[in-house]
Chain A
Amino acid sequence: MRQLTYAQALSEGLCQSMERDPAIFVTGIAVDYPSGIFGSTTEAAKRFGPDRVFDAPAMENALTGIAVGAAAMGKRPVIVHPRNDFMFLSFDNLINLAAKWRYMFMGRAGNVPIVVRAVIGKGWGQGATHSQSLQAPLAHFPGLSVVMPAFPSDAKGLTIAALQHESPVVILEHRSLYSTCGEVADTFEATPIGKANVVREGTDVTIVGTSFASYEAVHAAEELGKHGVSAEVIDLRSIRPLDEETVLASVKKTGRLIVTDTSWELCGVVSEIAALAAEKAWPHLKAPVIRIALPNCPAPVSAKLEEAFYPKASTIARAAFKLLGRDQNLIGDWSREDNFKGPY
């Protein structure tokens, strides 16, 4: 099968959806620039023109409300935040309104199927306010679907799914994944929202990941294989709704669980999955769950501090060794090659 980058896959999912549904339009800062959200909206801007792909002022809150109003009148707006962190400014319209609209008007005022794309930054000094990922606060609220594609095939498939969904969907994309490559079907096919993916099967330990952490988990599993450890990697893909079944089936099989995410531990996705295992797979657990998340400080800028801040693929591999009672010193210090070029 042909290979596409994550950015190309996002673009293809968007363009194929726009061809089929004239109600879709795309707006947000710089969506129609030649660089179009790191290349993911450039093609749509070229093909569908300024009536359907257009720039907007920096007004994250009103833009979200505008999307809700247009959606209530039958449109399918896509709004894009080049960084997650700006989305905090949209929380009123996103959480107080979009997430609750269908429920609190009992569907009579429409379903407001807006799609919000937001990009998580990482490394190269993105720093405290350009590198956060908001899946935990967003997924907390009933009424929003929150998805995090880690691989190009899901970048396309989840875009298509979001643009067919009956209620609001937030797609959290990861800047470090934009240039990664993978097999992507040229057909128009949705990745189901709420279904995790067993990326790699294994029997000794389950590694549940999200977004860039899933990408690192696959690398860790490959290396673990060289040491005779069979790791199963589950990419959650969707934070809400959460696919409990796939996670639990794997934990029951391996009896060991590592959870890794792009954000912090406290009240975070890693803790949610750990609680799930404790509640519903307790008799099957052979060891305590290990959570791998960001350390408890904001993201620093200095390259030296950043290096210490982010967990790596080797962090995951060492955790697996710990669970299996193996010598963690046998695992070095390594990660996927990050070919992100600065500044943004």
Chain B
Amino acid sequence: MQVLDLAGTEQGSSQAHLLLKLHKNLLNVRLTEELLAERYREQEMRTPAHFGSGQEAVAVGVCVALRQTDAVFSHHRCHNHYLAKGGSVYQLAAELYGRADGCSGGRGGSVHLTAPEQGFIATSAILGEMTAVAVGAALSFRMDRSDHVAVTFFGEGAMDEGAFYEALNYASIKKLPVLFACENNLYATESPMSVRQAPGTELCERVRAFKVDAIKLDGNDVLEVYRTAEKAVAQLRRGEGPVFLECMTYRWREHVGPHFDDELNRTYRTREEVERWMRHCPVKRSEQRLVELDICTRDELDALREKMHAEIAATIERARDAPWPNVSTLFDWT
């Protein structure tokens, strides 16, 4: 299993090191999310969950460009960001199972994750809410004269909310170190962009009207996301004001729950559209790059995937067996 160790040795070039780091992170997010989604069908994780399969490259590309001390805030589809920033698989699974070992002690559920020791601060199920919170964290960093940055992940649906623009405007006025990371997956629940935006709308143009730098990119290419985020974060640390990234990506499963569209005869997206995006899979593209650049062989990648799959499956199983919260703690932390 040379490939597993390559990242830590001198034989890996810095490029290979980076690509492997991104790939392992991607794989951890993908496998965890897919395994959780399958177990979710058993009706034992009693918390509405918005699975992020297909969108991993945005979370990973951005989070790998950050330091541990940078603060990340996310939305209802937050597992990807939590994991990419270093949140524990065990604590995520335990949270979904409502167990005491969950990252929020079983009080938050799928949409209220936290891993503060990793700089993953909080998430919320209300669209656009965390955008302001990230701006507030950035205000605090500015007051402390630190060079930390705050990141807010959100879907393009959050840009239908007024609060989003209040927060964007404020970050612009104060030139705060906030990265606005938009995951444009084309649908807000099942509502397409065509009913939510005037024809010809470009979200980046909207954002530029607030005098904020805006970049549209391929959100299914982890390297492109990483490189773009790295530059943006450097700009933030220099105090040059916020940056908006519109990362084009696609959600594979239903809005909330573990199913694929065809399992429930959902018709808001065509099968062709879904399949086209699935061929554009961030994990496959990352694997292809690693093989083309001779960083790993197919066999090594398969072995890596199998090993991680087994580890994550065992971790999720362990979380299911974790103890329930003690009922006597119901009123704690009020």
Instruction: Say yes or no: B116 contacts A104, CB within 8 Å.
Output: no
Instruction: Say yes or no: A106 contacts B108, CB within 8 Å.
Output: yes
The one of B71, B73, B107, B132 that contacts A104, using a Cβ cutoff of 8 Å: B107
Given contacts A62-B170, A96-B129, A104-B108, contact A51 B143 (CB under 8 A): yes
Instruction: Say yes or no: B122 contacts A101, CB within 8 Å.
Output: yes
Check B92 for interface membership: any CB of A closer than 8 A: no
The one of B122, B124, B134 that contacts A96, using a Cβ cutoff of 8 Å: B124
The complex places the Cα of A109 from the Cα of B134 at a distance, in Å, of 13
Q: Which of B1-9, B26-34, B161-169 contacts A (4 or more CB under 8 A)?
A: B161-169
Given contacts A93-B129, A105-B112, contact A67 B136 (CB under 8 A): yes
Q: Which residues in chain A, 67-117, are within 8 Å of chain B measured between CB atoms?
A: 67-75, 77, 92-93, 96-97, 101-110
CB-nearest residue of chain B to A142: B334
The complex places the Cα of A142 from the Cα of B126 at a distance, in Å, of 18
The complex places the Cα of A96 from the Cα of B137 at a distance, in Å, of 18
The complex places the Cα of A72 from the Cα of B99 at a distance, in Å, of 25
Instruction: Say yes or no: A73 contacts B137, CB within 8 Å.
Output: yes
* Tally of contact residues, B, Cβ under 8 A: 39
Check A125 for interface membership: any CB of B closer than 8 A: no
Q: How far is the CB of A146 from chain B (nearest CB, A)?
A: 14
Check A25 for interface membership: any CB of B closer than 8 A: yes
Residue among A68, A71, A109 having the largest count of chain B Cβ atoms under 10 Å: A109
Q: Which residues in chain B, 166-197, are within 8 Å of chain A measured between CB atoms?
A: 166-167, 169-170, 173
Given contacts A106-B108, A109-B122, contact A69 B150 (CB under 8 A): yes
Check B201 for interface membership: any CB of A closer than 8 A: no
The complex places the Cα of A12 from the Cα of B163 at a distance, in Å, of 33
Given contacts A57-B169, A105-B114, A108-B114, contact A70 B137 (CB under 8 A): yes
Residues from chain A with Cβ under 8 Å of B332 in the complex:
106
Check B277 for interface membership: any CB of A closer than 8 A: no
Q: Determine the interface band of chain A, counting residues with CB < 8 A from chain B.
A: 35 or more
Interface SS of chain A: helix, strand, loop or mixed?
helix
Check B139 for interface membership: any CB of A closer than 8 A: yes
Check B55 for interface membership: any CB of A closer than 8 A: no
Q: How far is the CB of B57 from chain A (nearest CB, A)?
A: 26
The complex places the Cα of A56 from the Cα of B136 at a distance, in Å, of 13
Instruction: Say yes or no: A93 contacts B132, CB within 8 Å.
Output: yes
The one of B105, B124, B170 that contacts A66, using a Cβ cutoff of 8 Å: B170
The complex places the Cα of A104 from the Cα of B163 at a distance, in Å, of 22
The complex places the Cα of A186 from the Cα of B108 at a distance, in Å, of 44
Instruction: Say yes or no: B136 contacts A69, CB within 8 Å.
Output: yes
Instruction: Say yes or no: B133 contacts A72, CB within 8 Å.
Output: yes
Instruction: Say yes or no: B132 contacts A103, CB within 8 Å.
Output: no
Q: Which residues in chain B, 109-155, are within 8 Å of chain A measured between CB atoms?
A: 112, 114, 116, 121-122, 124, 126, 129-141, 143, 150
CB-nearest residue of chain B to A108: B114
The complex places the Cα of A109 from the Cα of B139 at a distance, in Å, of 17
Instruction: Say yes or no: B136 contacts A103, CB within 8 Å.
Output: no
The one of A59, A62, A64, A97 that contacts B124, using a Cβ cutoff of 8 Å: A97
Residues from chain A with Cβ under 8 Å of B114 in the complex:
105, 108-109
Check A176 for interface membership: any CB of B closer than 8 A: no
Residues from chain A with Cβ under 8 Å of B163 in the complex:
59, 61-62, 65, 92-93
Given contacts A72-B121, A104-B112, A105-B108, contact A62 B167 (CB under 8 A): yes
Residue among A69, A70, A75 having the largest count of chain B Cβ atoms under 10 Å: A69
Known: A62-B166, A63-B170, A69-B135. 13 other contacts (CB 8 A): A59-B163, A59-B166, A61-B162, A70-B136, A71-B136, A73-B137, A92-B129, A103-B107, A107-B333, A108-B114, A108-B116, A109-B116, A110-B116
Binding site for A on B (CB under 8 A): 71, 73, 103-105, 107-108, 112, 114, 116, 121-122, 124, 126, 129-141, 143, 150, 162-163, 166-167, 169-170, 173, 332-334
Cross-chain pairs A/B with CB under 8 angstroms, 22 sampled: A25-B143, A59-B163, A61-B166, A62-B132, A62-B135, A63-B166, A63-B170, A65-B129, A65-B131, A65-B136, A65-B167, A66-B132, A66-B135, A66-B167, A69-B135, A69-B138, A93-B132, A93-B133, A93-B163, A106-B332, A108-B103, A108-B104
10 nearest A-B pairs in the assembled complex, by CB-CB distance: A69-B136, A65-B132, A62-B166, A66-B136, A59-B166, A73-B140, A69-B133, A106-B105, A62-B132, A69-B137
